[in-house]
Amino acid sequence: MLTGAGVSAGSGLRTYRGPDGVWEEHKVEEYGNIQTLIEHPERTWQLFGGMRAPVQAAVPNAAHYALARLENSLRPEQRFLLVTQNVDRLHQRAGSRNVVELHGNVSFTRCTNEACDLEPFVDDKDHAHAVPKCPKCSSALRPHIVLFGEAIPPMSSWPVKKALRDCDLFIAIGTSGVVSPASNYVRSAKYAGARTVYVNLEPLSPKNPAFNEEYLGKAEEILPNLLFCGNPSS
């Protein structure tokens, strides 16, 4: 399973693209990439620190719960991996267990100095007014997320590669499918012989022929029916 911001839209969190998207208000080139963190770390904090309060106030919706229920109802020999691009931890709060947070977690802070041994830690402050400093090495601290221009850490990418190799059902939910590497996963899944399904409010644009099936509408309405009745609209 691959999820994106559309899964959390039903929990009141903003998506990144589209009319009310995060990148409409904060241009991605000015706030979302690694260069910004190096040159203007206060902007990185302004955007991602500002997400902490809404993320903490949000609660999982029927889409998160349906995915957790599916995972928890599998037979022991069946394997399941939930790969999310979301940084809100709502899947885990709904009860999902085997989750890869491809883009990190916005509620954690870590050191920018890669040689520093400070572990990422839970942090509820938004640091909107001053860039915080590391208590161990005094380098700047940063949100624990993957910015544009940064690689997905192997700890996250490796389990995804392994799961795609013998995947028989791949469902992408609530993602615009424009950000790699996640946007490429469907091709690997299809190559491995999986049934490939796209669930989203809007159709993929441009279409991706690697998807066999497409169900359009709200994930929180479609998923419970699709996963448990085999019919997206029942």
Q: By CB under 6 A, what part of segment 70-109 binds ligand OAD?
A: 85, 103
Query: Which residues face 121 on adjacent strands?
Result: 109
Q: How many residues bind ligand OAD (CB under 6 A)?
A: 25
Nearer to ligand OAD, 138 or 231 (CB): 231
- What's the CA gap between 25 and 22, in Å, rounded? 6
- What's the CA gap between 213 and 218, in Å, rounded? 16
- In the complex, the smallest distance separating the C-beta of residue 33 from ligand OAD, rounded to whole angstroms, is 9
Binds 16: which of Zn ion, ligand OAD, none (CB < 5-8 Å by kind): ligand OAD
Q: By CB under 6 A, what part of segment 198-227 binds ligand OAD?
A: 200-202, 218-220
Binds 137: which of Zn ion, ligand OAD, none (CB < 5-8 Å by kind): Zn ion
HSE value, Cβ hemisphere, 13 Å, CA-based, for 233: 4
Site map (CB under 5 A) of Zn ion, residues 11-40, x = contact: ------------------------------
Indicate the burial class of 4 (C-beta count within 10 angstroms; 0-12, 13-18, 19 or more).
Answer: buried
Which of residues 11, 15, 96, 107 is near ligand OAD by CB under 6 A? 15
Q: By CB under 5 A, what part of segment 123-152 binds Zn ion?
A: 134, 136-137, 139
Which of residues 58, 81, 118, 140 is near Zn ion by CB under 5 A? 118
Tokens 């419970």 -> residue: 224
Binds 145: which of Zn ion, ligand OAD, none (CB < 5-8 Å by kind): ligand OAD
Out of 64, 91, 103, 144, the active site residue is 103
Just list the catalytic residues: 103
Which residues would be at the binding site for ligand OAD (CB under 6 A)? 4-6, 9-10, 15-18, 21, 32, 85, 103, 145-146, 174-176, 179, 200-202, 218-220
